[in-house]
Structure 1
Amino acid sequence: MHRFIGRQRELRVLRDVLDEVRSATGPRPGGKPGQCVLIRGRRRIGKSSLVEEFLRRAEVPSVFFTAAGQPAEAELAELVEAVRDSTLPDRELFVEEAPRQWNAAFRLLAEILPDDTPSVVVMDEVPYLMNRVDAFEGMLQRAWDRQLSRKPVLLLLIGSDLSMMEALNSYERPFHQRGREIVVGPLNPADIADMLDLAPATAFDAALVTGGLPLVCREWRAGDGLWDFLRASLDNPISALLVSAERSLAAEFPPRAMGWEVLRAIGAGERTFSNIARAAGGIAHTTLTRAAELLTSKGVVAAELPVSLRPSRERRYRIADPYLRFWLAFLEPHMAEIERMRGDLTLTRIQEQWTSWRGRAVEPLIRDSLARILPDGDLPAAPVVGGYWTRGNEVEIDLVGADRQPVVKRLLFLGSIKWLEGSPFDAHDLAALHKHRAAITDDPVPLVAVSRSGVKCAGLTAVYGPEELIAAWHRDGGVR
């Protein structure tokens, strides 16, 4: 039985755009009923599966072409094969012509698209074409403006290289403003809870381990606990949990790139520039700077400053994807152990370190959840939900709600996260939060607690647990 979990916002957006195309179908001299959507997201995040599900529901003529990083001529031959296997009614005309130039292929594709009914053209892994086909963006722009957009077609351009997909639609590039954008992220905690039949607190654990990657989530048997899933995955050397990260990174970074060493250092828990440099083998300042810029531009690493009333240079780095963070911390260093069927040793190591690792790893996910809840009760909407720290961590505040970042004009609330089983947020935690608030402001800024196991004290403006946080993810977002 076919069961597709999550992505309801994205599916609705695509359906609405296709409805726009459908409503514009008909005799419109000089009209351009065509619509284009650019879909980007990290590798293995489920972009292609999303579009396949959309096509299954849409039931309109379509072609799905996937580039593979081959020379331009080979890619063109693959396009011909994709059209041959498509549901476009006049596909045989395209195959018989077998165009040998991309300009001709776009022109012929436009000619065989239906005039009186919507169709969908999907081009997956577009960054490969941008790299391999000379002047591809210019040819795509001309074909769209002159031919394709004059047909009732929805053109979907998909890519995993985030920076290149952003560039495709950026100012001064040929295809600028010709397509709307959808960013496909991981399955959110609510989707994971529904998919795997998990309680809210366990769903957050699952989000940290799987990163919301559909391929990894599918291997988690519904109703299983965290340790059941990890035990089964570590016993299977080709499980998605073990191999997905390596495949994704290999596609983005050359094997000998310095980015690998920097990534490993950050994944091992180093957060400051100097500590990362030391852990990466004492690499030069300029080399680390280039590597950090590459990793942040690709969205693999997040570089963050304290949200503060005063400027700070205490930048910290973290792995942006929770799954990759887990893989680098616990799995990648011990692959040889796992491959010789001693995943039991790896599992024991994870169990010993899990509570302390999770306490920090869950912070970005909780901040995202809280930003979705607000405004709530006495707490206003917060344009920014971040954290605050000093160089030596004498003052460290998990949650800082503010009007902007990194230097704020107005603090909206401060808060603490206590994500432990059987240990509620208590008066000692509240006293520490009061002390840290006094270190950065004299104002009576509202105080918030987020706790996995409840709260046993008074004096807080708001309290949130796993149930409230996961409910926030049921709210839909939009599309640019």
Structure 2
Amino acid sequence: MTFYDRADELDALEMAFESAGHAFYVVYGRRRVGKTELLKEFCADRPYVYYLAAQEAEPRQREKFVTQVADHFDDRVPAVDGWDDAFDYLGECVAREQCIVVIDEFPYLVAENESLPSYVQSFVDEQLQETESMLVLCGSSISTMESEVLGHESPLYGRRTGQVDLEPFSFREARDVIGYDLEQAVESYAVTGGTPMYVTLFDYTYTLGENIKSEILSPTAVLYNEPEFLLRTELRNPARYMSILEAIATGHTTPNEIAGATGIGSGPLSKYLQTLRRLRLIEREVPVTAAQKKSKRSRYGVADEFLRFWFRFVEPNRSSIEEAPQVVFEGTIEPALPDHVATTFESVCQEAVWELIRRGTLEPYSRVGRWWYGEDEVDIVALAPQDDRLLLGECKWTTTPVGYGLVDDLLEKADAVRWGPGTREEQYVLFSKSGFRDGLRDDLGEEWLLFDLDDLAETL
């Protein structure tokens, strides 16, 4: 797979390795997000030992690890009785030659021996610290990495010299990969999301519909069962979690709505939602003007665009897809795709707002999000508490140009947003897929910014 972007993460790893003294980095993130590709890119042209752990018995894991180390240092493979011996041997090797040691899928080792973090701690404290070498622990099980490596209770707590929490590509980052114009790129991103593996699976010489049918709706395609596979690697009994994700993806976003759609009681549901949040599969959102922890107006959303697409269109239609994928695409997916993309477009516009703030096109704001109360909702609200300034914006993924009706509607909603003093300053921004009615830009004051797709393309 071609390596894209990740310049900041590469710079951090390279600086850590080149700096004086040892380095101990932790790299983690969801599956398919590109951790292994990042580490391979980092290790290229540098001395390294790369060990990819597997789900197998502990003696076999240890044997493969020691063999990998010995091969790099042109040694005979030593006999070791336990992980303490294995790390003692590794310590002898890295003491005589600066080297990067990568242990990928570290959680697989912990699953076979829960004492492994203690062995690594001894290695870091007693041997690695006396060298110029670097240890990198990498893992896809976020829960294991956060508890067994980064957590307060872990023997390794406080030992790391840095960490990389690798996130999926933002839309702006994914644009380097997506070979469509901006409108089609937004539509494609609404299907694949920013997970590098998913984005690079599409062939952008084909239409989006052709890619959906060949890479998602085909029972032999990698993405056809991908979400179910991901859940099974993290959860013993994923059935209820899948029903929750399907409920959220199909529009049931409050706890009461999710409970009604799944039949799961509020007590158990709360624990399931916490687990899905910990795995970064869903996000809890509250109105941007509300307190994150205290607000009872929470909504949940699927945290990944591909998972949202899959649980909305694929999971509910599996039987039909097996028999007639073309019919499912033309009758179910294609008509509903604009509505699905509209949600993604809001996220893309939020990215644009942050970029406009960084550029100075917009004045500084410290928080950007959505706002709702009762029936009223505003797609983008940004807060500048120090300056009593508020930004309100709408994002329209429609086939008709935006006119004065949306302007009047946003002004009316602005009065319902209770935040700041009565003398607060208000700014407005409109994003429209199909542009604006003639004369609208000229009729609005300096406090209004209008962006069509050409403007958005330039911004991003």
Alignment partners' CA distance in 1, 2:381 and 2:366: 11
Contact persistence 1:302–1:317 (CA under 8 A) = yes
Helix, strand or coil at the partner of 1:339? helix
- Per-residue CA distance 1:393-431 (angstroms, 9 max, x = gap): x21011111248xxx9955311111123x4233211111
- Per-residue CA distance 1:132-184 (angstroms, 9 max, x = gap): 31322222111111112322222111111223323322335322232211121
Distance 1:53 1:387, change over 3 A: same
Distance 1:3 1:129, change over 3 A: closer
> Pairwise mapping of residues 107-146 of structure 1 onto structure 2 (< 5 A)?
107-113=88-94, 115-116=96-97, 118-146=98-126
Aligned residue number for residue 438 of structure 1? 415
Aligned residue number for residue 73 of structure 2? 89
Helix, strand or coil at the partner of 1:455? coil
Query: What is the TM-score when the length of structure 1 is the normalising length?
Result: 0.85
Contact persistence 2:435–2:453 (CA under 8 A) = no
Aligned residue number for residue 157 of structure 1? 137
Distance 1:184 1:259, change over 3 A: same
Q: 1:66 aligns with which of 37, 52, 59?
A: 52
- Name the amino acid aligned to 2:368: V
Deviates more, 1:145-154 or 1:167-176: 167-176
Contact persistence 2:366–2:384 (CA under 8 A) = yes
- Name the amino acid aligned to 1:89: F
Pairing 1:362–2:348 present: no
Q: CA deviation at 1:188?
A: 3.1
- Per-residue CA distance 1:100-119 (angstroms, 9 max, x = gap): 31111111011122634x31
Contact persistence 2:186–2:341 (CA under 8 A) = no
Q: CA deviation at 1:72?
A: 2.9
Aligned residue number for residue 314 of structure 1? 297
Contact persistence 1:39–1:159 (CA under 8 A) = yes
Aligned residue number for residue 463 of structure 1? 450
- Name the amino acid aligned to 1:218: T
Alignment partners' CA distance in 1, 2:393 and 2:67: 56
Pairing 1:148–2:128 present: yes
Pairing 1:43–2:31 present: yes
- Name the amino acid aligned to 2:180: L
Helix, strand or coil at the partner of 2:180? coil
> Pairwise mapping of residues 233-272 of structure 1 onto structure 2 (< 5 A)?
233-234=215-216, 236-272=218-254
Aligned residue number for residue 7 of structure 2? 8
- Name the amino acid aligned to 1:429: L
Alignment partners' CA distance in 2, 1:175 and 1:463: 51
Q: CA deviation at 1:43?
A: 0.8
- Per-residue CA distance 1:208-228 (angstroms, 9 max, x = gap): 211122222222113433223
Q: 2:283 aligns with which of 295, 299, 302?
A: 302
Helix, strand or coil at the partner of 2:40? helix
Q: CA deviation at 1:378?
A: 5.7
Helix, strand or coil at the partner of 1:334? helix
Distance 1:318 1:16, change over 3 A: same
Distance 1:301 1:315, change over 3 A: same
Contact persistence 1:301–1:320 (CA under 8 A) = yes
Helix, strand or coil at the partner of 2:395? strand
Q: CA deviation at 1:199?
A: 1.6
Pairing 1:398–2:397 present: no
Contact persistence 1:76–1:100 (CA under 8 A) = no
Pairing 1:333–2:316 present: yes
- Per-residue CA distance 1:17-76 (angstroms, 9 max, x = gap): 2222xxx3xxxxxxxx211211111111111122122222xx222221122343433321
Pairing 1:380–2:363 present: yes
- Per-residue CA distance 1:57-98 (angstroms, 9 max, x = gap): xx22222112234343332133234335x5x224x34x2x13
Alignment partners' CA distance in 1, 2:270 and 2:245: 13
Alignment partners' CA distance in 2, 1:198 and 1:356: 20
Q: CA deviation at 1:254?
A: 2.2
Q: CA deviation at 1:243?
A: 3.0
Alignment partners' CA distance in 2, 1:241 and 1:105: 38
Contact persistence 1:234–1:338 (CA under 8 A) = no
Contact persistence 1:219–1:240 (CA under 8 A) = no
Aligned residue number for residue 418 of structure 1? 396
Alignment partners' CA distance in 2, 1:262 and 1:256: 10
Alignment partners' CA distance in 2, 1:377 and 1:55: 37
Alignment partners' CA distance in 2, 1:466 and 1:156: 42
- Name the amino acid aligned to 1:194: D
Alignment partners' CA distance in 2, 1:46 and 1:304: 26
Q: CA deviation at 1:472?
A: 5.8
Helix, strand or coil at the partner of 2:158? coil
Helix, strand or coil at the partner of 1:17? helix
Q: CA deviation at 1:377?
A: 4.4
Query: What is the TM-score when the length of structure 2 is the normalising length?
Result: 0.89
Distance 1:347 1:111, change over 3 A: farther
Deviates more, 1:218-227 or 1:307-316: 307-316
Helix, strand or coil at the partner of 1:447? strand
Alignment partners' CA distance in 2, 1:165 and 1:267: 27
- Name the amino acid aligned to 2:426: V
Helix, strand or coil at the partner of 1:36? strand
- Per-residue CA distance 1:294-329 (angstroms, 9 max, x = gap): 111111110111122687421100001111111111
Contact persistence 2:250–2:311 (CA under 8 A) = yes
Identity %: 27
- Name the amino acid aligned to 2:307: L
Deviates more, 1:216-225 or 1:118-127: 216-225
Alignment partners' CA distance in 2, 1:111 and 1:347: 63
Give me the CA root mean square deviation: 2.6
- Name the amino acid aligned to 1:316: R
Q: CA deviation at 1:15?
A: 2.1
- Name the amino acid aligned to 1:263: L
Contact persistence 2:317–2:328 (CA under 8 A) = no
Distance 1:128 1:470, change over 3 A: farther
Alignment partners' CA distance in 2, 1:36 and 1:402: 38
Helix, strand or coil at the partner of 1:433? helix
- Name the amino acid aligned to 2:395: I
Q: How many residues align?
A: 446
- Name the amino acid aligned to 1:323: F
Q: 2:180 aligns with which of 198, 222, 226?
A: 198
Distance 1:465 1:65, change over 3 A: farther
Aligned residue number for residue 325 of structure 2? 342
